[in-house]
Amino acid sequence: MRRSVVEIGEVRKVEVRGLKALYHKTGNPVKEARFLRDVLDRGMSQHDVARELGISQGHISRRLALLERLTPALLRRVEDGEITPGTAYVLSRLSKSAQKAFEDREKVTLKAAEEAVRENVVDARVLALTED
């Protein structure tokens, strides 16, 4: 029984070393998000992955938001380096229909994304008030 525990511990160390090496080779926020999704799909929690990779759980959550909430066109632009990950995360807070307004813009800035989110929040509040 003791031998099995040691072997499992050694396998885990190898997995973690491999995980760290692969993570640092991603070099792209969308590839990073896909890598993190794959690791999480294998049963590790965001907390455990964050601890093993030396990143915050919030960083993982923000990267996953890119995959889960961006339109395919915007995700492609992030992958191509046309939109920064920070700007993309802000855009991910918009509905897919609101995101479409940014798909063909030549330059997408953080300021424009933040303004769109603020406008959406105000529009939603006004709509909620008028429905009462």
Kindly give the confidence (pLDDT) of every residue in the chain, 132 residues in length, as a single tens digit, with 9 standing for 90 and above.
433 333 434 445 546 666 676 666 767 899 889 988 988 888 888 998 888 888 899 999 999 999 999 999 999 999 999 999 999 999 999 999 999 999 999 999 999 999 999 888 755 454 455 555
pTM: 0.76
Tell me the C-alpha distance between 6 and 26, whole Å: 31
Tell me the C-alpha distance between 130 and 132, whole Å: 6
Structure tokens at 71: 């339109």
Tell me the C-alpha distance between 53 and 24, whole Å: 9
